[in-house]
Amino acid sequence: MGWPRSRYNFAMSINLPDRLAELNLTLPEAPAAVAQYVPALRSGSHIFVSGQLPLRKGKLIASGLVPSAVDLEQASEAARQCVLNGLAAVDQVLEGDWSGVVRIARIAVFVASDPDFHLQHKVANGASELLGDLFGDAGRHARAAVGVTALPMGASVEVELVVEVR
């Protein structure tokens, strides 16, 4: 099944706060930078979101390698939390006005993996499915799912986002 012909002309017709409430979700407080970078920045028609860890109320919800320390389901949930943290960074850049969002253009999901683990794409599905639930067709995106030996703070998952805006 292909993309609709108008795929490049998405106008986001949802109210993200309302959609989050429908899914019983809330955006956390926007993440603070912990080094010499910004959590998100706008450049032209894109907002680039720095890698987000699965932090909830300041604490990692998943740490260690997948699947020896964190199972696939927990890692997928961690990817969802990373997306919520990333959207909070986008919200800060947008100052709460999501009307100019066109689409989620790309995500990259990094999974701290055991050497014989090859299901990073299934972990990434947690992030992708949440974006689809929140944004519909405008949440469909290009994606990379990468296995790595370690992530900052011992996190199991890290997610980057690129959001297209008008």
Predicted confidence band of residue 94 (pLDDT cuts 50, 70, 90): very high
Model confidence at 145: pLDDT above 80: yes
Confidence of residue 33 (pLDDT cuts 50, 70, 90): confident
Q: How far apart are CA 49 and CA 114, in angstroms?
A: 26
Q: Which residue has the tokens 């701290």?
A: 112
pLDDT of 35 reads: 86
Percentage of residues in the chain with pLDDT exceeding 70? 92
Per-residue pLDDT for 17 more than 50? yes
Instruction: Give the pLDDT confidence of 110-129 residue by residue, as tens digits.
Output: 999 999 999 999 999 999 99
123 against 15, higher pLDDT: 123
Q: For residue 115, is the peptide bond before it cis, meaning its omega torsion is within 30 degrees of 0?
A: no
- The sign of the torsion formed by the CA atoms of 54, 52, 40, 146 equals negative
What distance in Å separates the CA atoms of residue 66 and residue 118, rounded to the nearest whole number? Answer: 10
Q: Would strands 101-112 and 142-148 be described as parallel, antiparallel, or unpaired?
A: parallel
Beta-carbon neighbour count of residue 74 at 10 Å?
A: 20
Q: What is the mean pLDDT of residues 133-157?
A: 97
Model confidence at 154, in pLDDT bands (50, 70, 90)? Answer: very high
What pLDDT was estimated at residue 157?
A: 98
Taking 90 as the threshold, does the pLDDT of residue 3 lie above it? no
Segment (H or E) for 121: helix 120-135
pLDDT confidence bin for 12, thresholds 50/70/90: low
C-alpha to C-alpha distance for 159 and 80, rounded to whole angstroms: 9
Q: Please report which helix (H) or strand (E) contains residue 144, including its range.
A: strand 142-148
